Chain A
Amino acid sequence: MTDNEKTFNSGILTGERPGAVLPPKELWESKKNGLVLIECPQRIPCNPCATSCPTGAVIPFEDINDTPRIDYSKCTGCALCVAKCPGLACFVADLTWGEKEALLKLPYEMLPLPAKGQTVACLNRCGEEVHRTQIVNVTQPWKDSTYVVSVAVPKELVSEVRAVKVV
């Protein structure tokens, strides 16, 4: 087993795979409000991302075990899937948000709940702090205690930052 495979087997995404693909670059760079990034590379019996997506951007599953496939032309960046997915595997990245910064919408189920303007540490996929920034927004789309926190991060970090921690 290669180190890469071992890292993946312990729950860290390494490269693109079915169920974890990036949006097409051009569309992504011009899409206001952002596009979804789903990181769900294993066939499991689960489909709330598809059933909760109001636009059909997560293509309806034929088999409940399918990995998510995305029709990026339909994604509005609404983040409903971010708050619904039981695996906390959906994120939204808005590259149009600022000149140098993108807006990331991340699922959040920890305490304390950060407030708008508060400084937080941004963590990468193995929990290392890679940046500090302020909370731009906190919402609770389904009123079910899964929050969506929006943070501004340098554009080069959109594919790295996957969680925030109150500091």
Chain B
Amino acid sequence: MRTTEILVIGGGPAGLSAAIEAATLGAQVTVVDSDLKLGGQLIKQTHKFFGSKDEYAGTRGYKIADILFEDLRKNADRIEILSDCTATGYYPEDGIVTCMIGEEKYFRMRPKKIVVATGAQERLIPFPGNDLPGVYGAGAVQTLMNVYGVTPGDRVLMVGAGNIGLIVSYQLLQAGVQVCGVVEFMPKVGGYWVHAAKIRRLGVPIYLQHTIVEALGERTVTGAIIENLAPDCTPGGKRTTIDCDIICMAVGLAPTCELLWQAGCAMKFIPQLCGHVALRDPFMRTSHPDIWIAGDAAGIEEASSAMVEGRIAGLGAAGACGYGTPEERKERFAHYSERLADLRAGEVGEKIRIGVSAASVQKWEE
């Protein structure tokens, strides 16, 4: 049986920030991540991030990961990292987490506190042929291209014009793949207008008020049929066949929260946070006194806010282990809360503000 003070599950921006924060306060931390390489989504983001200087705006995502790795190295004596290691279960009776390294090495771990930063899962939508080889999630396409250096195909149809659909389309163009079009259900792009403009000027059509109705092909994708929707979203409009060998779905993410369900955390369905999430107090502690959450697992947002939430969760978990003085914790907490509020200010943050407030409790009964 392994032990650790704080187990961080997930080594994306949220988990790494939590680990760094807890370690700088003096806690002994173990990070497990199911990927071969740490960094979560960040290592696939070849585009420059939006936001402000504090959150590294104008810096490419994978460079932000490098900044986090550097901070990890500075605290290497207190942070143990296990990659290719999946937390497979949590047993509330005795507080044990089971983990698998690779496909066969199995071990059990009893941490004092846990930060769940497992990120998000991609959604798919149903249509005939969506199980054909060649229908991918946008995250999978990004991983293939930007982690493994493999182009997924020659001609892609992108489904969804949110930021992910738009950015991955741009990255596909950079990789020399033809993007035949982006299909969007709504009458306007959901992602930032400037991202749409970037691919439009490279000749990519964006089909607003359209949806995919069928993937064509016998053994692999050879095309797709898209359909124009009426303004009230009723189907039956004009159909167009698109010649493509890849269909890439960027229709949304949902928080990865299986471990939180297993742990019996109080959960709630919050549409603004894109699915079921655990209720949390201001320190990101769930109804389970030993479990904290951060990042997309706590509600789909951005890497910038994931990093700040990670800081807060790490601070909370380390504080619960007795690290840091109350003044020090109070000061750090005030600083992070303010940054989070700044990131969520304005119109774009409105949805998040509503969701977060619906998921928040002021204080758990002790």
Contacts and interface: CB of A to CB of B under 8 A. Distances in A.
Interface of A: 1, 6, 9-13, 39-48, 51-52, 63-65, 84-89, 109-111, 123-128, 144-146, 162-163, 165
A11 B202 contact: no
A44 B200 contact: no
Nearest to A52: B58
B203 A45 contact: no
Interface in B316-345: 342-343, 345
A39 B200 CA distance: 13
Given A10-B206, A127-B200, A86 B348 contact: no
B73 interface: no
Contacts of A146: 48
A31 to B, nearest CB: 25
A45 B349 contact: yes
Interface residues of B, number: 39
A123 B203 contact: yes
Contact of A86 (B57, B189, B203, B231): B57
Contact of A63 (B51, B193, B198, B345): B345
Given A9-B208, A87-B194, A63 B201 contact: no
Among the interface residues A12, A13, A40, A44, which one has the most CB atoms of the partner chain B within 10 A?
Answer: A44
A44 B58 contact: no
5 contacts: A6-B187, A43-B347, A43-B348, A46-B192, A48-B53
Interface of A is mostly: loop
B353 interface: no
Given A87-B50, A88-B194, A47 B348 contact: no
A49 to B, nearest CB: 9
A93 to B, nearest CB: 15
A53 to B, nearest CB: 12
B194 A9 contact: no
A65 B200 contact: no
A143 to B, nearest CB: 12
B346 interface: yes
B69 interface: no
Interface string B129-160: 00000000000000000000000000000000
A41 B201 CA distance: 16
Given A63-B345, A111-B176, A126-B200, A51 B53 contact: yes
A123 B203 CA distance: 8
Contacts of A9: 187-189, 208
Nearest to B191: A11
B230 interface: no
Contacts of B60: 144-145
A45 B343 contact: yes
Among the interface residues A10, A123, A128, which one has the most CB atoms of the partner chain B within 10 A?
Answer: A10
B187 A89 contact: no
Nearest to B302: A45
Contacts, number: 126
A65 B343 CA distance: 10
A87 B192 contact: yes
Interface in B44-70: 47-53, 57-58, 60
Contact of A89 (B194, B202, B347): B194
Contacts of B346: 43, 45, 63-65
A11 B53 contact: no
B266 interface: no
Given A1-B187, A52-B58, A87 B195 contact: yes
Contact of B194 (A6, A42, A145): A42
B174 interface: yes
A43 to B, nearest CB: 5
A158 B201 CA distance: 14
A1 B192 CA distance: 20
A10 B202 CA distance: 13
Nearest to A64: B52
Contact of A46 (B57, B173, B202, B208): B57
Contact of B202 (A43, A52, A163): A163
Contacts of A111: 174, 176
Contact of B197 (A11, A86, A123, A145): A11
B149 to A, nearest CB: 14
Contacts of A124: 201
Given A9-B187, A87-B192, A45 B202 contact: no
